[in-house]
């Protein structure tokens, strides 16, 4: 599922991010970059301003919340014993000096740390409001599963992936070692603060020069799937992909291409998408691709709950929100 900030605030606040959109000099879109005015001119014929009107924003916000509820209800129904969460970091715990392409956490727990009022005051409004939906109200230690994490590390290394290991999250540029928002959103909105023992898996989707290509992500997922299945335990394991789809500029054509390939199990189609398409927030789609590799090993098929293009400006800024499950 997606985890963008627009999921965590009422629709009337989506436009709080538009001043940032206007000031940002380089929005990636289909292999090129544009400033806000150039993007608005490029997409003038799509009449995106109409899709950012208040009543449209509210209708799409309601659809997103319904999809989140549906996924949360499904998790409660499945009652998996343990979980694996595929996510990414945005300089929350890693630093520009240390960014692994792939990493697996096998420590005893990760921390959930509430944001202070002083910290929230320094954030842009659209982000500050969303933080309350991605961090716990009180300090929390979320139990992890060293046994499974260690097994996964050993198996993927034996299969040719040189993966970083973590037993404690580092303190990143934000001055915190809390689990990044990719994981915090799953804890709160899907697991509903009832977090089972789990293994966080990190994919460097954002930061060059060591971003794994889409095809490599799919193969990593297949190796993870074999590792999970070979774990000598009768516990059931749920797997989550957190992040994506297209943002911070919505590209419905790209999103539908990815969703269609995932539904058909067409790994070759995913592997041929140019890397220039996986930039900025859209890069988080690779977390879905890793998970698709895991599901391919399990022989499971994807069901789309909903796809909701959430626009906040005439330039097409916003997020393509996707919600799906394999079962």
Q: What is the pLDDT of residue 301?
A: 94
Q: What is the pLDDT of residue 116?
A: 84
Query: Is cis: bond before 66, omega within 30 of 0?
Result: no
Q: What is the pLDDT of residue 184?
A: 97
Are 251 and 282 in contact, with CB atoms under 8 Å apart? yes
Name beta bridge partners: 29: 32
Residue 105 structural domain: 5-326
Q: What is the pLDDT of residue 115?
A: 85
Q: What is the pLDDT of residue 125?
A: 72
In angstroms, the Cα distances linking 151 to 66, 106, 227, 230 are: 36, 9, 7, 9
Here the tokens at position 111 are 């921390």
> Rounded to whole angstroms, how far apart are CA atoms 139 and 238?
25
Question: How do residues 128-149 score in pLDDT, each as one tens digit?
Answer: 888 888 899 999 999 999 999 9
Give me the helix-helix angle, 214-229 and 285-298, nearest 10°: 40
Strands (E), 26-146: 27-29, 32-34, 82-87, 102-105, 109-112, 140-143
164-166 and 102-105 strand pairing: parallel
> Rounded to whole angstroms, how far apart are CA atoms 324 and 2?
10
Backbone angles phi, psi at 21, to 5 degrees: -55, -45
Residue 200's H or E segment, with its range, is strand 198-203
Are 305 and 325 in contact, with CB atoms under 8 Å apart? yes
Reduce the DSSP state of residue 111 to 3 states and report it.
strand
Q: Which CATH number is 36's domain given?
A: 3.40.830.10
Interior angle at CA 166, CA 163 and CA 167, nearest 5: 145
Task: Tally the domains of the chain.
Answer: 1
Q: What is the pLDDT of residue 187?
A: 98
The pTM of this model reads 0.96
Are 296 and 221 in contact, with CB atoms under 8 Å apart? yes
Which among 213, 192, 221, 189 has a CA at the least distance from the CA of 288?
Answer: 221
Here the tokens at position 230 are 């070979």
Reduce the DSSP state of residue 243 to 3 states and report it.
coil
* Low-confidence stretches of the chain (pLDDT beneath 50): none
Residue whose pair of structure tokens reads 């910290």 in the numeric block: 119
Q: What is the pLDDT of residue 195?
A: 97
Q: What is the pLDDT of residue 48?
A: 97
Estimate to the nearest angstrom the gap between the alpha carbon of 9 and the chain centroid: 17
> Rounded to whole angstroms, how far apart are CA atoms 216 and 161?
10
Are 71 and 325 in contact, with CB atoms under 8 Å apart? yes
Q: What is the pLDDT of residue 214?
A: 95
Is residue 150 packed enough to be buried (19+ CB in 10 Å), middle (13-18) or exposed (0-12)? middle
């Amino acid at each position: 599922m997606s985890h963008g900030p627009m999921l965590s605030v009422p629709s009337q606040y989506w436009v709080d991010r538009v001043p940032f959109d206007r000031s940002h000099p380089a929005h990636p879109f289909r292999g090129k970059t544009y400033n806000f005015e150039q993007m608005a001119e490029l997409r003038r014929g799509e009449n995106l301003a109409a899709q950012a009107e208040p009543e449209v924003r509210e209708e799409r916000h309601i659809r997103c919340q319904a999809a989140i509820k549906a996924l949360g209800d499904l998790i409660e129904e499945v009652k998996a014993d343990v979980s694996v969460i595929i996510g990414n970091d945005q300089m929350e715990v890693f630093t520009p000096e240390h960014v692994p392409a792939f990493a697996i956490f096998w420590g005893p727990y990760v921390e959930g740390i509430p944001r202070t009022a002083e910290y929230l005051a320094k954030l842009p409004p659209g982000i500050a409001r969303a933080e309350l939906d991605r961090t716990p109200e009180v300090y929390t230690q979320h139990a992890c599963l060293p046994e499974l994490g260690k097994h996964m590390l050993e198996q993927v290394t034996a299969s040719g992936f040189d993966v970083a290991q973590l037993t404690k999250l580092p303190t990143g540029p934000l001055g915190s070692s809390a689990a990044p928002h990719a994981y915090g959103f799953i804890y709160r909105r899907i697991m509903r603060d009832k977090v089972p023992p789990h293994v966080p898996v990190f994919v460097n989707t954002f930061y060059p020069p060591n971003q794994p290509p889409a095809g490599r992500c799919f193969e990593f997922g297949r190796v993870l799937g074999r590792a999970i299945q070979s774990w000598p335990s009768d516990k059931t394991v749920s797997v989550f992909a957190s992040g994506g789809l297209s943002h911070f500029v919505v590209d419905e054509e790209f999103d539908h291409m990815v969703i269609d390939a995932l539904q058909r199990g067409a790994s070759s189609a995913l592997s041929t998408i140019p890397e220039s398409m996986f930039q900025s927030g859209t890069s988080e789609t690779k977390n879905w691709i890793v998970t698709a590799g895991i599901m391919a090993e399990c022989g499971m098929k994807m069901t789309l709950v909903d796809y909701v293009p959430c626009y906040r400006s005439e330039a097409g800024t916003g997020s393509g929100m996707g919600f799906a499950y394999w079962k």
